[in-house]
Structure 1
Amino acid sequence: MKTNSPREVARFWRELLGYRIAPNHSNSVKLIGDDGPALLIQPSDNPIEQGAIHLDLRPEDQAACVDQALKLGATRADIGQAGNEGWVVMADPGGNLFCVLQDQADYRASLANDPGTATSID
Structure 2
Amino acid sequence: MIKIETITIKALDARTVARFWRDFLGYRVAPNHSDSVLLVGSGPALLIQPSQAQPMDAAIHLDLRPEDPAVEIRRALDLGASLADIGQSGAEGWTVLRDPGGNLFCILEGVKAFDAHRVAEPGQVTPID
- Tell me the TM-score normalized by structure 2: 0.53
Candidates 89, 110, 120, aligned match of 1:103: 110
Which structure has the larger Rg? 2
Partner of 1:11: 4
CA distance in structure 1 between the aligned counterparts of 2:57 and 2:97, rounded to whole angstroms? 18
CA distance in structure 2 between the aligned counterparts of 1:109 and 1:86, rounded to whole angstroms? 13
Unaligned runs of 5+ in 2: 8-39, 45-54
State the Cα distance separating 1:51 from its structure 2 match.
6.4
Give aligned pairs, total.
Answer: 81
Q: Which amino acid aligns with 1:67?
A: R
State the Cα distance separating 1:50 from its structure 2 match.
7.8
Give runs of aligned pairs for residues 1-122 of structure 1, distance below 5 A.
Answer: 11-13=4-6, 17=41, 19=43, 48-49=55-56, 52-113=59-120, 114=122
CA distance in structure 1 between the aligned counterparts of 2:42 and 2:124, rounded to whole angstroms? 22
Deviations 1:25-55 (A, max 9, x none): xxxxxx8xxxxxxxxxxxxxxxx42862000
CA distance in structure 2 between the aligned counterparts of 1:96 and 1:59, rounded to whole angstroms? 19
CA distance in structure 2 between the aligned counterparts of 1:70 and 1:86, rounded to whole angstroms? 18
SS of the residue corresponding to residue 61 of structure 2 reads strand
Unaligned runs of 5+ in 1: 1-7, 20-30, 32-47, 118-122
- Tell me the TM-score normalized by structure 1: 0.56
Superposed CA RMSD in Å reads 3.0
The list of structure 1 runs, each at least 4 consecutive aligned residues, that deviate by more than 6 angstroms after superposition, is none
